[in-house]
Structure 1
Amino acid sequence: MAGENVLVAVEGRRLQLSNLDKVLYPSDGFTKGEVIDYYSRVAPVLLPHLAGRPLTMRRYPDGVDGQSFYEKNAARHAPDWVRTVTVDTPGSSTGAETLDFAVVDDLPTLVWAAQMASLELHIPQWTVGPRGGRNNPDRLVFDLDPGPPATIVECCRVALLLREKLRADGLEPVAKTSGSKGMQLYCTVTTTAPKQAWGYAKELAEQLAAEHPGLIVARMAKNLRPRKVFIDWSQNHEYKTTVAPYSLRARERPTVSTPITWAEVESCREPGDLVFTADDVLDRVDEHGDLFKPLLRKKNPPKLTALKSR
């Protein structure tokens, strides 16, 4: 029954799961139990990308058609075994200068987040140390957002242009869909200051916008975006987060922010070519493994230098 509670043990941790039959994606009949099942099954490839990163949960207790909210302060709900870290949050809508974020380092914590109807998992481009200190960014992200009638097809064109520039700087990007209408490119980097990735991404986006003004925009103004792809460099700001690879999205169907191959980017001709649901992603992981695994290689990641120095 929808209201029944189930007590389970996950790797030695006791969790109470509730409302497993509650439909969270009405168009597909995808239930809360299926959300928990998906996250449990995708955990081997998802957890390494969440590890060490404060989690912002986007919760949908009444499903994707209901009200949602971002949950950053885990201390009010988390079991005592969930690792939390205190992070400064200047300008927070709650007025708090710090919040206690969950850090999802293991399967029990991931299942707990799914039980909270946290359909979307958002993380920053930096990790915290064992004592909670904020490390410098180790990932660079470009969020490609198409302005209608542009679609992910145009995003793929921009991704290939970005790949060329990044490779020229000694970086090796990987790509994923946003699970919504756009996509993101990521690189593993070494930085020496929090704003270094932000500055590099901004300069590169502006350079590409100048070179391809009919296709790319690097400014956030809405009136500039129709028919173009906005390269959102601001996702590298230390107080911003981006949806994690393998995270569900709160769309009509249970689509996922899905790592993709460059061959798929190059061959994309229709928006539907790069739409993947939870079931699709589990099949893809069986076939490809973790396509984002290059981001986990920690040995001598490239040092990020200013674009103007090239």
Structure 2
Amino acid sequence: MSPPAGQGAPAGRVRVDGRELRLTHLDRVLWPREGLTKAHLIDYFVRVAPLMLPHLEGRPLVLTRYPEGIERPSFYQKQAPWPRPAWVQTARLAHEERAIDYVLADSAATLAWLGNLAAIEIHPWMSRVDDPEHPDLVVIDLDPDPPASFEESRKVAFWVRQALDRLGVPSVPKLSGATGVHVCIPIRRRYTYEQTSRFAATVGRALSEVFPDRVTDERLVRRRHGRVYVDPYQNLRGKTVVAPYSPRPLPGAPVSMPLTWDELETAQPRAFTIANVTQWLPGRRDPLLEALGRPCSLDAFLERVPGLQGTRT
């Protein structure tokens, strides 16, 4: 991977997509074991922007920043950082406590700016700012409790797929970049967060009843006992999971990767990294982006669940 011009210097100005930004501390090491620096992160974001940006378009972003690298303290940031370039887009959304100005990523330049902030993890909302109360994505988050590992997550992902297929709901798997799998369901923008979170919870509860020794919907970690937790709560308003192609703050610098179900059969969570992006990026097919263009209906499911029909448009 070729880092941006200026690596080794404390700061520099570059142009990305015709926008100028100032980069600082490009030689700061973010992944110490691999020697990957902030320059490498910025370069990765610029390279992957054509695939990543469609997943972020119009979505409020929550950032996890690692200014001193992944082995030092990090912090979680919702409010758009300041100062920021005038061309960085934001959107204000109301919450019970206050309004928050979220970053919107509409260009490779914005991704480069986020990389300069050492925003290693990018977490988008399930809905977009033009209709923030109606998500267009449901994510069933599979999180293995040790000693359960990725292999157990993979197996449960295929069980989730089978359950969704019976409901007539298509899905796409995504490596979390750690030991989990995200089963992603693009949906029509007509359902509330209450409906989508209950949908995910119902799937999790059904699987935990059929496979009680392998799957759990138990929120308390101490009660999971080495099973795969099916987490529906990331589908509540304002909750997020890591974005497609976002790096993870883990050894090897893995990224969260959308896959086909066939690819999931043999995939490993550390196979896709910011360091080997030049090997997997050229010509990469994005099955999740394709599925987002064919959103599905949850009507048949909701009609079976009393009290969840609500108002649909």
**Pairwise same-fold verdict (TM > 0.5):** yes
Mapped pair 1:103 → 2:104: yes
- Residue 225 of structure 1: CA displacement? 1.6
Task: Pick closer, same or farther for the CA change 1:282–1:170 going to 2, 3 Å.
Answer: farther
For 2:4, the equivalent position in structure 1 comes to none
Equivalent in the alignment of 1:119: 120
TM-score, normalised with respect to structure 1: 0.90
Fraction of identical pairs, as percent: 34
SS of the residue corresponding to residue 15 of structure 1 reads strand
Q: Does 1:301 align with 2:296?
A: yes
Q: Partners in 2 of 1:304 and 1:37 — Cα distance?
A: 43
1:61–1:274 Cα change, 3 Å: closer
Report the Cα offset of residue 22 of structure 1: 1.1
Does the 8 Å contact 2:272/2:280 carry over to 1? no
**Equivalents in 2 of 1:308, 1:302: separation in Å?**
11
The within-5 A match list for 1:1-310 is: 2=8, 4-74=10-80, 76-90=82-96, 96-129=97-130, 133-190=131-188, 191-267=190-266, 272=268, 275-298=271-294, 301-306=296-301, 309=304
Secondary structure of 1:278's match? coil
Whole-angstrom distance in 2 between the partners of 1:23 and 1:85? 31
Unmatched tracts of structure 2, length 5 or more: 1-6, 306-313
Distance 2:61 2:106 in 1: 10
How far has the Cα of 1:304 moved from its partner?
A: 4.4
Find the aligned partners of 2:230 and 2:246 in 1 and give their Cα distance. 21
- Residues of 2 paired with 1:283 and 1:127: CA distance? 32
Q: Check 1:279–1:292 CA distance in 2 against 1; reply closer, same or farther (3 A cut).
A: farther
Alpha carbons 1:189, 1:304 under 8 Å: kept: no
- Alpha-carbon deviation of 1:81? 1.2
TM value normalised by structure 2: 0.89
1:112-131 Cα offsets, whole Å, 9 max, x none, are 111111000001111111xx
Counterpart-to-counterpart distance in 2, 1:35 and 1:107? 13
Aligned amino acid, residue 225 of structure 1? R
Which residue identity is paired with 1:163? R
* Contact 2:175 2:269 survives alignment (8 Å): no
2:308 alignment counterpart: none
Alignment check: 8 A CA contact 2:56 2:104 kept: yes
- Letter of the 1:165 partner, please give it: A
Report the RMSD for the aligned CA atoms in angstroms: 1.9
SS at the partner of 1:86? strand
SS at match of 2:160: helix
Is contact 2:254-2:270 (8 Å) kept? no
| Contact 2:8-2:26 within 8 A present in 1 as well | yes
Instruction: Give secondary structure in 1 for the equivalent of 2:154.
Output: helix
CA distance in 1, matches of 2:30, 2:173: 28
Give the Cα separation in 1 of the matches to 2:140 and 2:266. 20
Quote the Cα distance in structure 2 between the aligned partners of 1:231 and 1:281. 30
Cα deviation for residue 108 of structure 1 reads 1.2
Give the aligned partner of residue 3 of structure 2.
Answer: none
Change (3 A) 1:281 1:228: farther
Distance in 2 separating the partners of 1:156 and 1:136: 29
Describe the shift of the 1:274–1:255 C-alpha distance in structure 2 as closer, same or farther (beyond 3 A). Answer: closer
Distance 1:105 1:297 in 2: 18
Structure-2 separation of matches of 1:273 and 1:251: 11
Work out the CA distance in 2 between the residues paired with 1:141 and 1:38: 25
Paired letter, 1:256? V
Give CA-to-partner distance per residue, 1:140-172, whole Å, 9 cap, x none. Answer: 101100011111101111111110111222221
Task: Report if the CA contact (8 A) 2:90-2:103 is conserved.
Answer: yes
Go from structure 1 to structure 2 and tell me whether the alpha carbon gap of 1:64 and 1:274 turns closer, same or farther (over 3 Å shift): closer
User: In 2 relative to 1, CA 162–86 (structure 1 residues): closer, same or farther, beyond 3 Å?
Assistant: same
The letter for the 2-side match of 1:240 is K
- Whether the 8 Å CA contact 2:167–2:301 is kept in 1: the answer is no
Which residue number in structure 2 is paired with residue 93 of structure 1? Answer: none
* Equivalent-residue separation in structure 1 for 2:106 and 2:169 (angstroms): 27
Count of equivalent residues = 298
